[in-house]
Structure formats: structure tokens, C-alpha cells
Chain A
Amino acid sequence: MSVLLIVGTDKGAFLLRSDAARAQWTVEGPLFKGWRVTAASRDAQGRTFLGVNSMVYGPAIQVSDDLKSWRQVNGPAYPPGGRRKLTQIWKIFQANDAHWCGVAEAGLFRSDDRGESWRPVDGLNEHETAAVWSPGAGGLCTHVVLHDRTNRQRMWCGISAVGVFRTDDGGRTWQPKNKGVTVVLEDKIYKDVGYCVHGLAQDPDDPSLIWRQDHRGMYRTRNGGDTWEKIERGLPSGFGFPIALHARSRALFAIPLESDEFRMPPEGKLRVYRSTDDGESWTALSKGLPQGHSYDVVLRHALTVDVLDPAGVYFGTTAGTLYGSRDAGESWHALPLIAPRIVCLAASAE
């Protein structure tokens, strides 16, 4: 088995490949040179999706079945003349025989033809609270989508700075699920929104077990989001963006930052934090990472894991450095790419 790592950056995408040892990597790219690659994913059938964007030419989804030839698909797009414009592709996710696309301005689209065309998910996009949704520093965006593989009617999505929503009827209606989380932007009327979820990770064997890197801290739910509890023992800060679960080993990874005011690695030390007890406690991992005067940031989609054992863990920074670990985070090494600002990563087996 070999590993493909897609690296989305401010100026194109790069493809890094390695065998199972993950010691030597080849680099291909840039794909879509000059385009900001904001989302990267592969579906179960091997189709690769890239969300691309340009401040001049706008966003679009590019797909490829062989990673050689690419084509642009139709949409997603908000209806002309509406109050919203589609400004960025944030997440492309396969679930329940459909593909789902989270976008900014915040909304969700669904494709029933494997991403060839998209239609808005009105139950979320026209939610009764949508008029008071407010953007965070990264914009007003639907940046994460999860599904329940044991219950096809249940899904979740996260919107910054609005909160987590859940549907229990296949996407027809959505309910805010933020009880227990500290609010960021409290609305006068709608008390269920105004929460700033930054990232979600989910236990594939127990889909109701979800971890949440939030603006206001690290949280966990064991009941599908009905209630959340704080889990920060060992973390230097509750603030951060990315969170990832290596399903095979059940190891969680996060990269906290010093407060929403500063948004830098605490003490200028680049550290990944790992939990092997479902988030009860966290341990710093730093071997091979710069432990002084390191002030670059890992964005919410710029941390990922592969499916091998021991876990391969990868993250890219806003300074364009790309790090990998082939021993579940025990040690780290720089991968052979000095990239533009790294926006997103996706790892898959080839």
C-alpha cells in the first residue's frame, strides 16, 4: 500500500506519494497553479475533488478520476439574485450515497450524481436562524460535515461562527446542537446559535462520539451533540483549529494555539497534542518540531492522518512547511516541500 497526500495551498495543489514506509516522498505539482486550493478529498470510488478559488475568478470544484486529467463540475451555486454569494468551497464529503459540499457564505449543497451537479440543502441554508448567522475570522462557512454510518438519516455539519447542526431526517430539517459549549456571539433571540466550531472528529464505530475543537475550548459529546463537555486536561490552550482522529488506533490529534487574541503556537513551540483515551488527557508531541521561535499556524483543514498502522500524521503550516510522522506522532520530519501557505491536506491509500 502506498500513501497519497494532497496538499492544498494558496497557489495550487501538490501531490506527495510514498510507500508504506513513508520515509521517501515524491512531489508532483503544482496543480491549478495560482489557484487557492481550499478543499481536497477522495471518495470511496477514487474520485478526487478539489475546491479551488481565486479572488479574481471565484470558486469552483475540479474533479479527477485519475489525478491526471481534471474537469470542472457544474456548481454549486446559490440562486441568482439571492442574498448570498458562494465565495469558497470548504468541504466535499461523501455520505449516504450522496456527496455533500460545505461552502461560504455558509450553506450546504448535495449531489446525487457523484459531484457532477449540486443542489442547495434548503433545510439548513434557509434555517430560521440564518438571518443572524455571523462570520468568524475565516468567514461565514460550513467547513465540516459528518454522517452516522449506522443511521442514514443522521448527519452533522459545523458552521463558523454559528455552531454545530444535526439532521435526523436525511437533511430535511436541522437543529443546532451546542448545549454545554460557551457561546461566542450571543444573539438576542436565537440562543442556539453564535457558537464557533473550528473542527470536528468522529468515532466511526460510535458516530455519536464526536470531538470538537471550538473557539471556546476542546469539547466532546457522547450523545451525538445533545450535550458537550470540556476535555482540556494536558492542553496548553483550549483554542485551536484542526482536530483529527486516526480511526484504527483511536488516537486524537490537535494543534492548539495561544488564545483567539494571539493565535500563535504557545511559547513559540510547534507542538502536536495527542490523546489516546478519547480526549480525557492530552500529551505534547514535539520530537523533530521546532521548539523555539516558531510562530506559524496550522489551519483547520491542514492536519490529517492516513490509514496505516502506526498512524501517519501530517500537517502543513501557514509558512508553507509540511511535517509528517510515521510513528503516530512520536517523531516528526519535514516533508520535501516548501509550499505556499498550506490550506488543506487529504491523505488516502493508493
Chain B
Amino acid sequence: MATLTVRLPRMLSAFADGKLEFEVEGETLAGALDALTTRYPALAVHLFDEHRRLRGHVLCFHNDDNTRWLPSLDRPVKSGDVITIMQAVTGGG
């Protein structure tokens, strides 16, 4: 089981005991994301839609890889990896 670092945007930290960064364990990226929402269930509705797909404006990086570009989240992870959640919003005025 690998230990990964999760980094959250400030708007979501309220749903993770105020933390911007914490650790989760998993063998795969999907498993680590499951561990993330198991630990902080309130995050699930804000990260994923009802089909367990990332919401349209939520970005998730596994180290430097945008998870949208991955064929599957069932990729192995290793200790020290970082999951970074960001919001994908441009424009506005």
C-alpha cells in the first residue's frame, strides 16, 4: 500500500477538516481517490458526478499527469506520489 499526498484547493478544505494537504493510502490511483472520499465523504459530491466521473470543471492531477488524459484510473501508485485537485475555470469578468 502506497502513501500519497493529496492537495486541495482552499474552497474544498472546509470539507476536509480545514486541511489543504493530507495523506491517503492506495494501491492504485482509483483506490487512492476512493480512500480520499471515504475519509472525507462530503468531498465526493463536489469532486464527482452521479456516475463517479470527475465534475466537468474539476481537474485532478496524478503527479504531472492530468487524469482526464489517462485511459484508466486503475494505474499503480507509489509512496510519495501527489494527487492535486484544482478548479478549471477560465474567463469571467
Contact = CB atoms under 8 A, between A and B. Distances in A.
B11 A57 contact: yes
A57 B58 contact: yes
Please indicate which of the listed interface residues B11, B14, B15, B55 has the most CB atoms of chain A within 10 Å of its own CB: B14
A56 interface: yes
A118 to B, nearest CB: 12
B50 A57 contact: no
B51 A32 contact: no
B42 A72 contact: yes
Interface in B39-93: 42, 45-47, 49-51, 55, 57-58, 87-89
A77 B46 contact: no
Contacts of A56: 11, 55, 57-58, 87-89
A57 B89 CA distance: 11
Contacts of B12: 57
A54 interface: yes
A64 to B, nearest CB: 12
B14 A32 contact: yes
* Chain B interface size, under 10 / 10 to 19 / 20 to 34 / 35 or more: 10 to 19
B19 interface: no
Interface string A270-309: 0000000000000000000000000000000000000000
Please indicate which of the listed interface residues B10, B46, B49, B89 has the most CB atoms of chain A within 10 Å of its own CB: B46
Contacts of A71: 42
Nearest to B51: A80
Interface in A296-338: none
B87 to A, nearest CB: 4
A80 B42 CA distance: 17
- A-B pairs, 7 with minimum CB distance: A57-B46, A80-B50, A72-B42, A56-B57, A56-B87, A34-B11, A60-B45
Given A55-B57, A56-B11, A71-B42, 6 more contacts: A54-B11, A55-B89, A56-B89, A57-B12, A57-B55, A60-B42
29 contacts: A32-B14, A33-B11, A34-B10, A34-B11, A35-B11, A54-B11, A55-B89, A56-B57, A56-B58, A56-B87, A56-B88, A56-B89, A57-B11, A57-B46, A57-B47, A57-B55, A57-B87, A58-B45, A58-B55, A60-B42, A71-B42, A72-B15, A77-B45, A77-B50, A78-B50, A80-B51, A81-B50, A81-B51, A85-B50
